[in-house]
Structure 1
């Protein structure tokens, strides 16, 4: 069974278009599991009307107490999911008709016997509120090195997997479904699980219109050399920026510790060494720390991002 997890919250403005894109998928059979996080704008009425129209396809998960975040909403959905293949959907995007079928095909091709965690994720077309194109490739828009970015050392520092673009197999769901509080985002956590214990497949095609508007939880911002340099300088000119980086750095370490604890003795030896190497960085002197970060690949993609990272750690 193919299962789509759709998290909603006050999404009435764009949700009908997202629903139309799901209704228009060329995949012959799939189930949509929806959870609303306490909307007050008519979202729930839209969802109930969709369920009444498609009772065999759409199921609404009981809300219970709101989680207060998109990641928390997806965590609840993951705990209730059971599909052989699971895809993640945002309420304000638009899926191209082949989004489900191509993602599942990539998962099946890479999945082997189904016992190895597998993730596949597509590129996105960045669009504005009216779905007018801003950039044909989200990856180029943000200058993300997807190939190098899918190694475990890189993912411990920088997530390059966009949640709405990804699909996983049931083995990845079973291993990663209980997302710890230390995880920064559900998609990042699942990417770490699959990088450590399985496979991540970057799909070249852009299969989603990734809508940008004022209420995006996580949006797309074009990579800018000037902005990167300015950010780098302000870290040292403003003490609050330095403190913010240190908090984020500490959270990366907490996420890595949670990953090591979750995998335990099941963690492959190479992945265990890579996680331990990353967690050791704060324990050594600054020169050794930067040398190990470079040698071990514990840095983001892009020359300026790498320089900024090495200066700050």
Structure 2
């Protein structure tokens, strides 16, 4: 790099005191230390805010806290606000209860800079990766989240397929400034932040997958979202949800003027999930 690029790590918190300090420790142990933390709390009632304030007191040059007086926006709403508040050239999305492997920042940034060299800084670029699934004590459950879900990274090139099926987990995302600009603010509640971001970056730019886990994805009883098992019950649930999806996708086309083939999206959702269940 011709200059040191300061990355902003966007961390929304809400009642995360049980695991937050372990996550913060893993960030401070990164091989690349050219980052700052931008934290926004969503109205915690436990010790989360006290933990954040303690860490900011100890590392004032590394941690900025957003106090906007708005509570209960949810994870997607908080990430949307943090992307709008960010002024950095590069951002990484961070959950409060995971554990970052030491090379996460370094490998993500190196891959993003390589992509910018190839496609230009004006191209929206998103980097994402695999994850190691662990229990609440960080004991391994699965080495590869993507393999467990039987997901195919090739669909990351097609925004219509990403409308049909969410494959990216937000805690692996890194964006350049152009990627932030096409992603923020999040304009719908139908998609979670990770799917919204991946759709918009794929629509206007490039989504690039690092085929190795760069963090430990903690599964515990208070997870908002987490890992799941693929089975026929999962497929039946997806099929039964198709009328709801069609109504929602039609609404998106009209309200957000998002031009996509509804037939392609519906067919892909059914076919992709069928193949995940019945094909090895």
Q: Distance in 2 between matches of 1:136 and 1:83?
A: 32
Q: Is 1:166 aligned to 2:137, yes or no? A: no
> What is the CA-CA distance between 1:215 and the residue it aligns to?
1.1
SS at match of 1:160: coil
Bigger drift between 251-260 and 174-183 goes to 251-260
TM-score (normalizing by structure 1): 0.80
Contact 2:150/2:276 (8 A) holds in 1: no
Which of 228, 233, 256 does residue 227 from structure 1 map onto? 233
Residue equivalent to 1:190: 197
Distance 1:257 1:83, change over 3 A: farther
Residue equivalent to 1:216: 223
1:70-85 superposed matches below 5 A: 70-85=75-90
SS at match of 1:147: helix
Cα deviation, 1:246-270, whole Å, max 9, x if unaligned, reads: 2233223334445535xxxxxxxxx
Unaligned runs of 5+ in 1: 236-241, 262-271, 282-288, 308-313
1:246-285 superposed matches below 5 A: 246-257=243-254, 260=257, 272=259, 275=260, 277-278=261-262, 281=263
Aligned length: 271
Contact 2:182/2:201 (8 A) holds in 1: no
Q: Distance in 1 between matches of 2:271 and 2:62?
A: 40
> What is the CA-CA distance between 1:25 and the residue it aligns to?
0.6
> What is the CA-CA distance between 1:75 and the residue it aligns to?
1.1
Residue equivalent to 2:3: none
Which of 11, 21, 26 does residue 6 from structure 1 map onto? 11
SS at match of 1:90: coil
SS at match of 2:175: strand
Unaligned runs of 5+ in 2: 1-5
Q: Distance in 1 between matches of 2:277 and 2:270?
A: 6
Distance 1:229 1:66, change over 3 A: closer
Contact 1:10/1:40 (8 A) holds in 2: yes
Q: Distance in 2 between matches of 1:11 and 1:103?
A: 25
Q: Is 1:205 aligned to 2:202, yes or no? A: no
RMSD: 2.2
Q: Distance in 1 between matches of 2:90 and 2:48?
A: 26
Q: Distance in 1 between matches of 2:22 and 2:91?
A: 21
Residue equivalent to 1:39: 44
Residue equivalent to 1:139: 146
> What is the CA-CA distance between 1:57 and the residue it aligns to?
0.7
Cα deviation, 1:172-211, whole Å, max 9, x if unaligned, reads: 1112211113551121111111111100001011011000
> What is the CA-CA distance between 1:156 and the residue it aligns to?
1.5
Residue equivalent to 2:274: 303
Higher helix share: 1
SS at match of 2:38: strand
Q: Distance in 2 between matches of 1:106 and 1:255?
A: 32
Residue equivalent to 1:116: 123
Q: Distance in 1 between matches of 2:23 and 2:165?
A: 28
TM-score (normalizing by structure 2): 0.89
SS at match of 1:109: helix
Q: Where does structure 1 differ by over 4 angstroms across 4 or more consecutive aligned residues?
A: 256-259, 297-300, 304-307
Q: Distance in 2 between matches of 1:53 and 1:194?
A: 36
Bigger drift between 110-119 and 9-18 goes to 110-119
Q: Distance in 1 between matches of 2:98 and 2:44?
A: 18
Cα deviation, 1:24-58, whole Å, max 9, x if unaligned, reads: 01113101100000101100000001111111110
